[in-house]
A and B are shown apart, each in its own frame.
Chain A
């Protein structure tokens, strides 16, 4: 298995809703990442998990809450989002943190209404 699987592919949520994004990989990768990408912009790093521990939080608002239940799974919990949070959310993984290429999932297209 050489894929990173993200679900759902599309999500529309209201500003008072709570939802979660899911990311899964079975490549034995021990580093996992969340990126946010707006149209015509580069992916912007949000969180880094290294050996299931949160190692980097790029000053992301608390309405985004990451979770790494095990080495194969990464979640992003969403609560009280704003319309400007609408974007493509990409999950990625690498064999180890630092010095390895990233495999990206196909992303979740999030729309906040």
Chain B
């Protein structure tokens, strides 16, 4: 039930945009997005709970298509500080509609922003 992330890696020049995708074969309760820099802990970016929900965090935003069990993370006008590995995490919807309570991470997307 690990979500599938794509692409595995992205190289950008400062100011360029990127999209990272995350999909699941299971019905989702929520999708989380985290960024992890080398040697550091993952940092929470945002969580999406409802189908059609879109959230923003500075120039980083995300959408959630509950029906397709997919989420996308959008990074616009990238900055050097955006470099790191981005993980989506998914909570599977349980039998009674709530979360099963276990956040499972995708394999990650390594983003490198060059000057």
Residues of A within 8 A of B (CB): 31, 33, 41-45, 48, 50, 55-56, 58, 90, 97-107
Contacts and interface: CB of A to CB of B under 8 A. Distances in A.
Contact of B101 (A56, A104, A106): A56
Interface string B18-42: 0000000000011010100000111
Interface string B98-109: 111111111110
Interface of B: 29-30, 32, 34, 40-44, 46-47, 49, 87, 89, 91, 98-108
By CB atoms of chain B within 10 A, which of A56, A90, A100 has the most?
Answer: A100
Nearest to A90: B41
B80 to A, nearest CB: 21
25 contacts: A33-B103, A42-B105, A42-B107, A43-B87, A43-B105, A45-B103, A48-B102, A56-B102, A90-B42, A97-B99, A98-B91, A98-B99, A98-B100, A99-B30, A99-B47, A99-B91, A99-B99, A100-B47, A101-B32, A101-B44, A102-B34, A102-B89, A104-B41, A105-B41, A106-B41
Contacts of B91: 98-99
A98 B30 CA distance: 8
Interface centre among A43, A48, A107 (most CB of B within 10 A): A43
B104 to A, nearest CB: 6
A43 B34 CA distance: 11
A43 B36 CA distance: 10
A3 B34 CA distance: 16
Most buried by B among A101, A105, A107: A101
A42 B108 contact: yes
A103 B108 CA distance: 18
A85 B47 CA distance: 30
